[in-house]
Chains A and B, each alone.
Chain A
Amino acid sequence: MYFKTLLLLLCVLSMTPLLVYGEPDERNKLVAVPDTCVALREGRNCYADVIINWQQPEIGNYCLRDATSKHIMQCWLKQQAGQFNYAFDSVETIAFELINSDNGKIIATTQVQLQWVYQNRQKKRRWRLF
């Protein structure tokens, strides 16, 4: 009985990968791993140690920034590749941009998506008696 239960469990487990990692995209030269952060409940902050890698065909001056706030996270001078360790701590998906710091042009984008397991149901608070 236990064996069959375990077998069913493993069958279901195999339907979904337990670890969520980003698929490297050769065309996108900016990659975040993992690219998904899963919180237990909707509306709660999610935490993950994210490694952001970038690579370019030419040596140059590049900066990594938050795509929404445009806050510069790190810049590299005369580099062709770089890595940034990012402590993800957010209640929403965060997108990143790699820009050429000489002309401000956006070269590549990536994002860390936020997911949750339990969806919050809108609570209806009202006075009710029968």
Chain B
Amino acid sequence: MLHNQLKPYLKLLFISMCLWCNTSIASNRYYADNTLEPTTGFAWDWSAGAGYYIEDSFLVGMDSYSDGLELDLNLALSYNRFYLDIDHSQLSGGVIIGYSIIEQFNWELDIIGTNVQAGFDDTGLDFYNTGTIDELAGIHTRKYDFNTGLRLARRFENSQVSFEYLHDISNAHNGWIINSFFSHILPWRNWEFRTGVGISAFSDDFTNYYFGITSDEATANRPVYSTGTASSLVFEFHAEYPLNQHWVFLGGWLSTWFSDEIANSPIVSQSYQHKAMVGVRYVF
């Protein structure tokens, strides 16, 4: 329904993107070539594309090998030390707003705001799915969170290590999240390979909000579940290849492994999640 309402606007946005021309650079806060550093005045760039993905979701009742097409829209805006970065070029991407406090000798300290966990309800995690999944029927809606906090990053030539301490301000779970991520960019001939590994920790408020089961959600097959702080390990690999001056081929793989606190939840079917995608992107 929502998608149908948005369709004309999405189409208009996509067509206008095709007609607009601007220089562009890659951006992802986890990688050394991100563009979230301070620039004088207003700057922006964007890119758009589409890809085919296949995903092995961790929620019970969801198709363990769902696939489909998804848009790859990227927009980076900055004004002096403020920035907004909507990045879906890589599987670890997302929406982030930030303010650069300190930037010196390849060290950066930023105040950031970002979403970490996608919300879900009894229709699962799939944005386009509107039908109830039997195994999830009766659970409360888990909202998308929005977290603010500090991000400390150290860049090397093609590598970056970053640490984030975030706290939910959206009144979703009201908990904290700690992210650490190491990434490396490896060029080989005209290819570029990007790899990253990250470890995250989630407060008990976070874990219980998304993966706990309250007494009024409990059923015969879904017992009450309450747990403590949890963690996850993330690995991703991406490959990019220029098809011409504007078109880029990209492929990527993202794997996430969850600790027992999440894996043992009655609404979680497995302790891991994999996602792979291939696509093309137009860079303006």
Contacts and interface: CB of A to CB of B under 8 A. Distances in A.
A117 B246 contact: yes
Given A18-B244, A47-B189, A118-B24, 12 more contacts: A6-B50, A18-B247, A38-B242, A40-B191, A40-B240, A40-B248, A41-B192, A118-B26, A124-B39, A126-B103, A128-B102, A128-B104
Interface string A87-130: 00000000000000000000000000001111111011111111
Contact of A116 (B14, B38, B243, B245): B245
Closest 6 CB pairs of A and B: A119-B23, A38-B242, A47-B189, A115-B245, A2-B69, A127-B104
Contacts of A129: 101-102
A81 interface: no
A13 B243 CA distance: 11
Contact of A121 (B39, B71, B189, B190): B39
A11 B101 CA distance: 43
Contacts of B240: 40
30 contacts: A1-B3, A1-B7, A4-B11, A8-B14, A8-B15, A9-B50, A9-B280, A12-B282, A13-B247, A13-B280, A16-B247, A37-B190, A38-B242, A38-B243, A40-B190, A40-B191, A40-B192, A40-B241, A115-B245, A117-B24, A117-B242, A117-B245, A117-B246, A117-B248, A118-B25, A118-B26, A126-B103, A127-B104, A128-B104, A129-B101
Interface of B: 3, 7, 11, 14-15, 18, 23-26, 33, 35, 37-40, 43, 49-50, 68-69, 71, 81, 100-106, 128, 187, 189-192, 240-248, 280, 282-283
Contacts of A115: 244-245
Contact of A44 (B187, B244, B283): B187
A126 B241 CA distance: 33
Contacts of A37: 190
Contacts of B68: 2
Interface string A65-105: 00000000000000000000000000000000000000000
Interface residues of A, number: 41
Contacts of B39: 121, 124
Contact of A128 (B7, B11, B38): B38
Nearest to B70: A5
Contacts of B101: 129-130
